Amino acid sequence: MKKILVVFGTRPEAIKMAPVVKVLQEENSFEIKVCVTAQHREMLDQVLTFFKITPDYDLNLMKANQTLNQLSARILKYIDPVLEDFNPDIVLVHGDTTTSSMTALAAFHRNIRVGHVEAGLRTYDKSAPFPEELNRQLTGRIADYHFAPTQQSAANLIAEKVFKDTIHITGNTVIDALLWGIKNINKEREDIQSIQKFIDTDKKLIVVTGHRRENFGDKFESFCSALKELSDREDVQLIYPVHLNPNVQKVVYKTLGDRSNILLIDPLDYEAFIWLLGQSYLIITDSGGVQEEAPSLGKPVLVTREVTERQEAVDEGTVLLVGTDKNTIVSECIRLLTDGDQYAKMSAKNNPYGNGTAAQEIISFLKNVK
């Protein structure tokens, strides 16, 4: 029986790895254990609770204000005893976090095979997103098995001389998680009820997220100024779950704190957040996961980044890159608010990231690994 160790540490990883864990737990072909680094603590725990996943190992590595180097060193140090204790045949990591790259490196040092879920995403700009782009490239060089969500991500790997027979196109597990999550939302939750009271159904709701490191400073101030200008319109409302990072909070509350039609709230857990996405008319975000989720909900997305590793949605026309220029954000948002044809084109449910079977595809591949 193959021994599989699934490792993740952040909320986005937990969301995208939860379907993999659930399918593995239903199989009789594997002995599975779950390790969390808790690179994000509270936000991670919310996802674990929603998906009913109990880790076998919890490294609890989150510390306030620790540097990326400090976090990297601690992951290498504390994942090593887990690898020694369980001695897995394969370690599964996800995407582009410090947890993923350092766990992959630790497994490599012990000659343990690595499977990389959501492999092959690239911008080829190591500063955008930072540090994610180099994290996923490092993990990609180490990994033995590459679970690419799309044909484009597989093509990126092939161009990097990765052996074709180690690449399996699966779709993205975020769609598996989204479809499961929508079915299991508790709409009577207090936070959902509170948001519902704010929403005016006669107005168009814009849901906003923004937290990328590379946008801090002048770019982030420009982004918030765009939101302020949009809030002057009488036909819209904005809801912004504000990231806890002080670099985000300070600018957001200074610029937007007194706007009556902008609701600034604490970050939502996954269950409440996907409910909120479903209520939106359109979404403004710098999040990678939202770029993948929104097309399945039929919601146009304006992405406040210059480049994206999720080019497929841009090519399909459901996502538009707008950067952080105030005038561009405002004009493209107004176009979606006023141009019915453009809105219909972008909101067509044509999701390039699959139909919710990615986790099963990954497990089917692993069954055939010797």
Render pLDDT for 38-75 as a digit per residue (tens, 0 to 9).
987 888 999 999 999 999 999 999 888 899 999 999 99
If pLDDT is split at 50, 70 and 90, which confidence band does 246 have? confident
Q: Is 200 helix (H, G, I), strand (E, B) or coil?
A: coil
CA distance 230 to 63: 37
For residues 223-227, give the mean pLDDT: 95
Predicted TM-score of the model (pTM): 0.88
Q: Give yes or no for a contact between 90 and 2, defined as CB atoms under 8 angstroms apart.
A: yes
Q: What does the mean pLDDT of the chain come to?
A: 94
If pLDDT is split at 50, 70 and 90, which confidence band does 213 have? low
Q: What is the pLDDT of residue 276?
A: 97
Q: What is the pLDDT of residue 13?
A: 95
For residues 207-224, give the mean pLDDT: 83
For residues 223-237, give the mean pLDDT: 96
Q: What is the pLDDT of residue 170?
A: 97
Q: Higher-confidence residue: 92 or 11?
A: 92
Q: What is the pLDDT of residue 101?
A: 98
At 267, list the tokens.
Answer: 């970050």
For residues 77-86, give the mean pLDDT: 98
Render pLDDT for 101-113 as a digit per residue (tens, 0 to 9).
999 999 999 999 9
- For residue 253, the tally of other CB atoms under 10 A from its CB is 13
Q: What is the pLDDT of residue 110?
A: 98
CA distance 256 to 89: 51
Q: What is the pLDDT of residue 218?
A: 82
If pLDDT is split at 50, 70 and 90, which confidence band does 247 have? confident
**Order of strands across the sheet that contains 167-169:** 57-58, 30-36, 2-8, 90-94, 113-117, 145-148, 167-169
Domains in the chain (CATH in brackets) are 2-172+354-367 (3.40.50.2000), 189-347 (3.40.50.2000)
Please give the positions annotated as active site: 96, 118, 132, 211, 213, 243
Q: Is 326 helix (H, G, I), strand (E, B) or coil?
A: helix
Q: Among residues of the chain, what percentage have pLDDT more than 90?
A: 82
For residues 243-266, give the mean pLDDT: 91
Render pLDDT for 263-297 as a digit per residue (tens, 0 to 9).
999 999 999 999 999 999 999 999 888 999 998 89
pLDDT at 244 over 90: no
